[in-house]
Amino acid sequence: MPAMRKALANLKRYIATPRIAKHRIFAWLPKSILPDCQLIVISRDDDTTFGILQSRFHELWSLALGSSLEDRPRYTPSTTFETFSFPKDLTPDFPASTYAANPHAQAIAAAARELVEKRDLWFNPPDLIERVPEVVPGYPDRIIPRNPEAAAILKTRTLTNLYNTRGTPEGTWLDNLHRALDEAVAAAYGWAADLADDEILGRLLELNRARSAQSAQMPGPPALAKSKTLTRIKGTDFTEDN
């Protein structure tokens, strides 16, 4: 816990995802919120990293290399984050400022911001809520339902319920936002956006191998984001060379 607090000390927000969840969803949390053990925390505050993690590419990787509890996928950072190959020049072992002018980083960040903004608007539409300033400085406004009817509607607006609509007419707007994000991330890899799942996993595996081999030949301390070499992927089974 002290190490996590130190990593978050200079950030205003951080990326979090549930350790176990039906859908692999990432969200922003303010530094004022201290996460518990059921949340995985990524100490980054840039929209580009958020967008890459929320993309189809990282979702497929995390599902293939994570574990599970009953029928719910478990996000295991040592096998899903530390082994994931980010697009070239957009890796999390460098400050976001180093790629702020990168057109691919900008496109991913813009798509990620739009996804988060539209998602937040669905959770808390202005016609259903009121925002009341928090009495303690530094904490976000309190969100209060306008009336009992609004409260009943807001209770149903959860991340799980929202993502259950994907692939249905009701969730078309969300599918379109994710498609735009996936296209931006695919462009950063230099890949087509409509690759099949197996093709994406195969390409990510090749990137993992190539970068791990390159990293092993470089002198100096290891990168901030560990690089473990995977030798195969088959469903959720894998082997690794440390």
Q: What is the pLDDT along the chain (242 residues), one digit of tens a residue?
A: 677 777 888 888 999 999 999 999 999 998 888 788 889 999 999 999 999 999 999 999 999 998 777 778 899 999 999 999 999 999 998 999 999 999 999 999 999 999 999 999 999 999 999 999 888 877 778 899 999 999 999 999 999 999 999 999 999 999 999 999 999 999 999 999 999 999 999 999 999 999 888 877 766 544 433 445 454 444 333 334 43
137 inside domain: no
Assigned token pair, 160 = 């799980």
175 inside domain: yes
123 inside domain: no
How far is 61 from 180, CA to CA, in rounded Å?
A: 19
In the prediction, which pLDDT does 237 show? Answer: 35
The range of the structural domain enclosing residue 96 comes to 2-114+171-241
How many structural domains are present in the chain? 1
Among the listed residues 112, 108, 120, 111, the one whose alpha carbon sits nearest the alpha carbon of residue 189: 108
Phi, psi of 73 (to 5 degrees): -65, 145
In the prediction, which pLDDT does 69 show? Answer: 76
DSSP H helical segments within the chain, as ranges? Answer: 2-8, 47-54, 56-65, 77-80, 103-123, 148-155, 159-163, 172-189, 197-216
152 inside domain: no
CA 140 to the chain's CA centroid:
22
153 inside domain: no
159 inside domain: no
How far is 102 from 91, CA to CA, in rounded Å?
A: 12
57 inside domain: yes
How far is 229 from 242, CA to CA, in rounded Å?
A: 7
145 inside domain: no
DSSP-assigned letter for residue 137: T
